[in-house]
Amino acid sequence: MATRPAKADEQPPIIFFDGMCGLCNGFVDFLIRADKAKVFRFSPLQGETARRVLGTAGEHPMDSVVLVEGDRVFVKSTAALRIFRRLGGVWSLLWIFRWVPVPIRDGMYGWIAKNRYRLFGKKETCRIPSPEEHERFLD
């Protein structure tokens, strides 16, 4: 499955991430390199776009990647799997893990999320995109 660019009348998918998390920023770095068609847009969960699109902090977890595709919102392991599927190529093979029950997937995801700062570090401020990346970031 190849990466599918957004149609003209379709909003590009937005990936919201913890802008202060080392793991999350590493994931965004990976996605920027792997997303050759530049399908995804990015925004930190701490930013104005997240507040506008996702609502108040209580509505969506701050310890999860959040994928918004049109009017659909995905979180935790489901968001990650949909992102990999959308990347296409060998990454889409990870889509097979959708058959693992969500409580198991999200349980593993939750353990990593709970320990992410300890394992991967925490930045003092949110990520600032480079000039080359700027067009892909909403905040």
Each residue's pLDDT expressed in tens, for the chain with a length of 139 residues: 455 555 555 789 999 999 989 999 999 999 999 999 999 999 999 889 998 998 865 556 678 899 999 999 999 999 999 999 999 999 999 999 999 999 999 999 999 999 998 999 888 878 788 888 899 999 8
Helix (H), strand (E) at residue 14: strand 14-17
User: Which token pair is 108?
Assistant: 């593993």
Q: Where are the domains of the chain?
A: 14-131
Structure tokens given for 101: 């029950």
- Whole-angstrom distance, CA of residue 79 vs CA of residue 74: 5
How confident is the model at residue 60, as a pLDDT? 63
pTM: 0.87
